[in-house]
Amino acid sequence: MTIKRKNIVLLAGNGQNVGKTLFACQLIKSLQQKHSVIGIKICPHFHDLDLNAEVIASEDNYQIIKETHQVGSKDSNRLLAAGAKEVYYVQSKDKYLNEVLLCLNSIISTNSLFIIESGGLRNIIRPGLFIMIESKNNKKLKPNTLKFREIANLNIEFDGEKFSLNANSICFSEKKWIIKN
C-alpha cells in the first residue's frame, strides 16, 4: 500500500553525483519565498556521524539527524544553506523506511512542504511530484532507474552544468504541484 503525500517532491536519480542535491537546492531557493520547506536526504548507506551531530532517533535499522550547520560539504548542509527551514539526514536501508516515516511524522508537521532525496521512498509513498534526474554522462544505472523513469511525473536531464528544466518552473499552489512552461 502506498501512502499519498501531495506536499512532497521526491527526487531520485540514475546514480550518485547526477545533480539531485543541486536541483533540490535550486527548488528550495525558488519555493522558500512563499513556503516553509523541509529538506530530507535519505541515504541507504551508513556513515560515521559527526561528534556534534544532533541525533533525533537512533535505532538498529536507521538514524535520523537534524542538520544544524549551513556551512559544510554534506548534502544536508547544502539543503539548509539553500533556505530550507529544517533539514534531516536519514541513514536507513529501504526496508526500514516505513519506520523512518513514522518517526519523522512524530517530529515534523506533515503539513509542511517537503523536498526529499530518496529513490527507495517511492516504493512506499506516492508524492505530489516525483522527479527522476539523470546525468547524460552516467552510464552505470541503478537497478530501479528504468522503473522510476516510467512512473516519474518529470524526467530531468543534467549535463553537468544545467538541467533540462529550471527549478523555478515548479511551484506549489492550491495544495498541488504545478509545472509552469
Q: What is the pLDDT of residues 58-99, one digit of tens each?
A: 999 999 999 998 888 889 999 999 999 999 999 999 899 999
Using the 8-state DSSP alphabet, how is residue 48 labeled?
A: P
Confirm if 63 and 55 have CB atoms less than 8 A apart.
yes
pTM of the model as a whole: 0.93
Q: Is 72 left (phi over 0), alpha (psi -120 to 50) or beta?
A: left
Q: Is residue 164 predicted with pLDDT exceeding 70?
A: yes
Q: What is the pLDDT of residues 9-58, one digit of tens each?
A: 999 998 788 899 999 999 999 999 899 999 999 998 888 888 788 999 99
Q: Is residue 115 predicted with pLDDT exceeding 90?
A: yes
Contacts of 46 (CB under 8 A, 6+ apart): 63, 91
